Chains A and B, each alone.
Chain A
Amino acid sequence: EAGVAQSPRYKIIEKRQSVAFWCNPISGHATLYWYQQILGQGPKLLIQFQNNGVVDDSQLPKDRFSAERLKGVDSTLKIQPAKLEDSAVYLCASIGTSAWRGELFFGEGSRLTVL
């Protein structure tokens, strides 16, 4: 079974530029999450999707961050314009519909450096 795929693994941009990250969850997993992990901290939820609908985006900075999951499969997280404090690892995770309170499966993350 293929795991959660993320790209790119690394990205360096200057502040005020834009960036997009892509995630493809495990096949059949209806719930997809984007987390932000700043160095030395635990993952912080940005947005949770159930199929192509948003379950929770209360901590997503909507003035600069956006995310979509149009067909209920893969997802894109965009930052525009980027700030220095957006430097972090962006983790995508998924969970299956039958796995109520099951485990999250994580991708390897996309590391963003904003200069």
Chain B
Amino acid sequence: AQSVTQLGSHVSVSEGALVLLRCNYSSSVPPYLFWYVQYPNQGLQLLLKYTSAATLVKGINGFEAEFKKSETSFHLTKPSAHMSDAAEYFCAVSGVGNQFYFGTGTSLTVIP
């Protein structure tokens, strides 16, 4: 079975500060992991995905995530937060048969 846990339902950072959103996964098979972003009144769009090619994955808008098997983690980071990064972020894992399991989400607030 696959699942993800996102630690911290709300994160606030100052503009220009480091963004760190946490995700831990559980998977009985080598996982494929994803981070999605959701802006108000919109659907989810893909930020980045890990598919075992490289442990450090770079995505759109300056975000990146590192797969750490020993810690079963896939944390999302961005060196310098921008006001436009304020949104809801979801970690997800895919399993057999293209079944996707989402975390409960982390709301990011960027303080000017």
Q: Which residues of A contact B (CB under 8 A)?
A: 4, 31, 33, 40-45, 48, 55-56, 91, 93, 95, 100-101, 103-104, 106-109, 111
Contacts and interface: CB of A to CB of B under 8 A. Distances in A.
Interface of B: 9, 32, 34, 36, 41-46, 49, 51, 90, 92, 94, 97-105
Contacts, number: 57
A104 B105 contact: no
A110 to B, nearest CB: 10
Contacts of B102: 42-44
Nearest to B94: A101
Contacts of B100: 33, 45, 104
Contacts of B104: 41-42
A106 B44 contact: yes
Given A42-B104, A43-B90, A103-B34, A48 B99 contact: yes
Contacts of B51: 101
Contact of B103 (A42, A107, A109): A42
A42 B9 CA distance: 11
Nearest to A41: B104
Looking at B45, B49, B98, B101, the one whose CB has the most chain A CB atoms below 10 A away is: B98
A86 B111 CA distance: 34
B44 A95 contact: no
A100 B34 contact: no
A41 B90 CA distance: 10
Contact of A45 (B41, B99, B103): B99
A41 B105 contact: yes
B8 to A, nearest CB: 14
Nearest to A104: B100
